[in-house]
Amino acid sequence: MRLYFLRHTDASHESNTPDAERSLSPKGAAQAETIAAFLSRLDLQLNRTLSSPYLRAKQTAIRVCSLLNAPAPEYSSCLTPETEPVELFEELRHFSRDSRILLVSHEPFLSTCIGNLILFNSFPKIIMGKGALACVEIGGQAQSGAGVLLWLMQYDQIAALTHPIA
């Protein structure tokens, strides 16, 4: 199973808006398009996209999936910022071993989840900035220590590869 962990892109900072209802900023919408272009160059062929139900993650997932012609995202409470990785691992057990799944979520959940998959560690030294993307391969069931980090890219690296300077 290949898991592509994507942190939502830049969001608005409206002080009166509940965290779960914060939307993407215009910058975040453009970043999502760049990420979709990068994923398109990789020719991934995603089977599923699971997203946090928080608005900024949903908007990131919808934009990326629509530009990739990938299946529409499904929303899972297992991908909210306060979720424990074991809840996502349980949900992933329902997918086949050859699945390629895009997971759109938040910090600190993403770095904690990746750390658990690759290190048995809930406090990894992994940085997932907004728009960062990581690929983890799992040979068997999703559980602590079962994954291998194949790559992790921050948004600036993705943008540089997608829109190289002439």
What pLDDT does 131 receive?
A: 97
Single-letter residue type at 73? P
What is the pTM for the complete model shown?
0.94
What pLDDT does 13 receive?
A: 86
What residue numbers bound the domain in which 57 lies?
2-162
DSSP state of 24: B
Is residue 91 over pLDDT 90? Answer: yes
Rounded to an integer, the average pLDDT of 97-122 is 91
Helix or strand holding residue 135 (H, E) = strand 133-138
The mean predicted confidence, pLDDT, of the chain is: 93
CATH code for the domain in which residue 139 is found: 3.40.50.1240
Q: What is the pLDDT of residues 5-59, one digit of tens each?
A: 999 999 998 878 898 999 999 999 999 999 999 999 998 889 999 999 999 999 9
Q: What is the pLDDT of residues 120-140, one digit of tens each?
A: 766 668 999 999 999 999 988
Rounded to an integer, the average pLDDT of 53-68 is 96
- How many structural domains compose the chain? 1
